[in-house]
């Protein structure tokens, strides 16, 4: 072995900074894109947000006039083009705007505002903190406190204890009997049912806290849990020699218990989804659907006129001009990447509307089998670019707001040699179950026979798999007894 120089030829793909920026913005949904624009606005002094109060005038009209290197609207620009037109971008905006700079505010005043805003932010109390707070009021020895902390640390978000008594005893170097004693104390805390090891124990803890009126309900959960799962009330009434009406009241009491005791501390907040595009019906018979790409939620960007004047000023030194030119190019590239992102999403949406036209008019049961590669080939893009463009994005359709990914699914062949999408078959299974007789629900075999009659050739285990994906119980648990 010795150090030496070797000349070697190789080929590799090198992405330009402009393409990297475009791909980065392409994969961001609207909410994150707004944050990215805010970051760019704060980092680049030449990039500015157009005031919404500005009314369109002659200057605005002249600003839309094509300039050198900008022969088409921004949203139609393609990668690889030169950026020679950046010197004249936004030249006709109001010259007086941009003299004010937020960085000129007193730093002490800014810090005061920041401290005040941070003081308003409070972290919601979690289940772990709530249980620790209750333990402080209990008279526990040092070992018991250690065991209590270990138990609480092994409670999941649903409120169940996920570690065994033996595992906790090993971690605390004590006997399992001591763990059981402390566990009984913790299970007596709020919320009711906390630290249970399974659903049956969680229900029992909650029922016992309600007093003697739950005696029958406790007996049903502890001795006849399997019948309870099957909702076989008649069999329970027969075994317990109790009137069916009394059994129904006890079961109703059980139904009002919380199956996940810790849920109140981890309630999922509803997520407001902002669609990137909307497809709606059009009055034009030649184009039945109208496509809108949403950019109204985004600030309209421009080049700050103050720094434009500074760049053109002959008194500005060379070092400052070099810095301004660099920031000017960066700002222009960012604006063009935003335009190209909009253009790409529009192309993909148009292709989806063309391929899945039946879905927009008839619903999910008419979704056709579709792959990312099919759309990529149709619009002349790489499959990975299409995947980036659809990542985490939603579209508003006549069938509701759905993820872009919903349009893609694998295909299954029918008896006639045609193809059916996986999602359309799942939709048919869902509709069959919705229309079934509650007293005589459809088994997986019954569903299979009905799908086979429609020419859909799949296995019974596939029907069961799709039913589970739809989170639908098997027939014996759906039966109304």
What is the rounded CA–CA span in Å between residue 86 and residue 330? 10
| Positions of the chain with pLDDT lower than 50, given as ranges | 55-105, 110, 116-121
- What end-to-end distance do the CA atoms of the chain give, in Å? 82
- Domain 411-478: which CATH class? mainly alpha
H or E element: which one contains 292? strand 289-293
Contact 172, 146 (CB under 8 A): yes
- What is the structure's pLDDT at 345? 93
Residues 36-95 pLDDT 10s: 999 999 999 988 888 765 544 444 433 434 333 333 333 333 443 433 433 333 333 333
∠ Cα 172 176 177 (to 5°): 120
Contact 309, 95 (CB under 8 A): yes
- What is the structure's pLDDT at 89? 36
Handedness of CA 363, 369, 373, 374 (dihedral sign): negative
pTM score, two decimals?
A: 0.55
- What is the structure's pLDDT at 57? 42
Following DSSP, what letter does each residue of 319-361 receive, concatenated? HHHHHHHHHHHHHHHHHHHHHHHHHHHHHHHHHHHHHTHHHHH
- Centroid of chain to Cα 362: 26
Domain limits, the chain: 411-478
Contact 423, 359 (CB under 8 A): no
What is the rounded CA–CA span in Å between residue 137 and residue 157? 23
Contact 396, 279 (CB under 8 A): yes
- What is the structure's pLDDT at 71? 37
């Amino acid at each position: 072995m010795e150090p030496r120089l070797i000349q070697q030829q190789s080929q590799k793909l090198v992405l330009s900074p402009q393409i990297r920026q475009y791909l980065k913005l392409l994969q961001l949904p609207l909410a994150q894109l707004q944050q990215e624009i805010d970051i760019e606005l704060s980092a680049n002094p030449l990039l500015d947000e157009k005031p919404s109060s500005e009314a369109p005038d002659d200057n605005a009209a002249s600003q839309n006039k094509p300039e050198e290197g900008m022969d088409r609207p921004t949203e139609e620009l393609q990668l690889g083009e030169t950026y020679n037109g950046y010197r004249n971008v936004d030249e006709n905006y109001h010259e007086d705007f941009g003299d004010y700079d937020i960085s000129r505010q007193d730093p002490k005043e800014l810090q005061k505002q920041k401290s005040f805003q941070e003081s308003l932010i409070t972290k919601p109390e979690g289940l772990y903190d709530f249980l620790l707070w209750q333990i402080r009021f209990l008279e526990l020895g040092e070992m018991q406190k250690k065991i209590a902390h270990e138990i609480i640390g092994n409670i999941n978000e649903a409120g169940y204890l996920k570690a065994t008594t033996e595992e906790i005893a090993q971690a605390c170097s004590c006997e399992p009997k001591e763990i059981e004693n402390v566990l009984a104390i913790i299970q007596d805390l709020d919320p009711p049912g906390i630290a249970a090891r399974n659903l049956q124990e969680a229900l029992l803890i909650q029922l016992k806290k309600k007093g003697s009126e739950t005696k029958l309900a406790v007996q049903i959960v502890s001795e006849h849990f399997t019948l309870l799962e099957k909702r076989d009330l008649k069999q329970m009434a027969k075994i317990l020699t109790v009137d069916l009406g009394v059994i129904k009241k006890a079961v109703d009491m059980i139904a009002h218990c919380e199956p996940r005791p810790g849920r109140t501390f981890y309630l999922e907040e509803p997520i407001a989804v902002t669609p990137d595009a909307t497809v709606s019906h059009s009055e034009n018979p030649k184009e039945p659907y109208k496509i809108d790409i949403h950019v109204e939620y985004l600030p309209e960007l421009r080049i700050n006129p103050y720094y434009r004047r500074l760049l053109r000023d002959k008194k500005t030194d060379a070092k400052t001009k070099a810095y301004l030119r660099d920031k000017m190019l960066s700002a222009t590239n960012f604006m063009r990447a935003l335009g190209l992102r909009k253009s790409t999403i529009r192309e993909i949406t148009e292709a989806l509307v063309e391929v899945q036209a039946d879905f927009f008019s008839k619903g999910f049961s008419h979704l056709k089998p579709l792959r990312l590669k099919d759309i990529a080939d149709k619009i002349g893009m790489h499959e990975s670019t299409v995947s980036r463009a659809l990542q985490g994005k939603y579209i508003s359709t006549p069938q509701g707001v759905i993820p872009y990914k919903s349009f893609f699914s694998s295909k299954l062949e029918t008896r006639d040699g045609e193809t059916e999408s996986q999602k359309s078959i799942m939709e048919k299974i869902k509709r069959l179950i919705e229309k079934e007789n509650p007293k005589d629900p459809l088994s997986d075999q019954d569903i299979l026979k009905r799908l086979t009659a429609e020419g859909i050739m799949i296995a019974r285990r596939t029907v069961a798999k799709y039913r589970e994906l739809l989170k639908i119980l098997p027939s014996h648990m759906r039966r109304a007894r």
